[in-house]
Amino acid sequence: MTSRFWFLTYNLILLPLLSGIVKILASYNSKINESIEKRKGLWERLEEAVSKRDWQKPLIWFHVASAGELLQAQPLIVRCIAEGAECAVTYSSVNAYHWLQRPDQTETQNLLVTEFLPVDKIYNVRRLLGLLQPSRLVWVSYDLWPNLVWETYRQGIPQSLVSGIIHAGSLRTSFFAGRSFYHSLYECLEQILTVSEADSQRVLSAIPDHPQV
């Protein structure tokens, strides 16, 4: 189902380009630099966290971009834990890391994993999926990492997008290339739940035949 064209374009051109840009920006942006530094040792931390897993329970994995998306996900996380699942949270921004360190964050104290998402290289993705072995991956709002989306789909693990947002004029839906690229991502998601009808219509402009938008 994954477009081979976009898989190759992303891994051979877009991902190396984005990685280079991030390294340059890290020299000027303290938050980006901190997020790179905080990723050091993440595999050891992940392995230690997963060693405490109850394998009799399903694991629901949530990915958020930053603190705002984490707040959106909290009610769903609390509900999943109350119904007997274990939950893991990965994030992209150092803001989410700092939010989780706050002593008043009692809602997230029962999470099995809270960690930065490793760089979206295919070997990282396969290693992470093999380590977590989630029952479902839930993306919150917009921060889809292509290799993780594609590989999770290839391994038959259900995925959902919740609180989905696509701003008017977004490159994701305003141009043919953006729609084509995001079609290859959206088709891997079982459900796409948006915050408004306008967002739903923008998703459907990229994938008109998706059954659950």
Q: Which residue is catalytic, options 47, 69, 115, 190?
A: 69
**Known catalytic residue at 86:** no
Helices 122-132 and 42-50: crossing angle, nearest 10°? 20
- Furthest C-alpha separation in the chain: 46
User: Active-site residues: which are they?
Assistant: 69
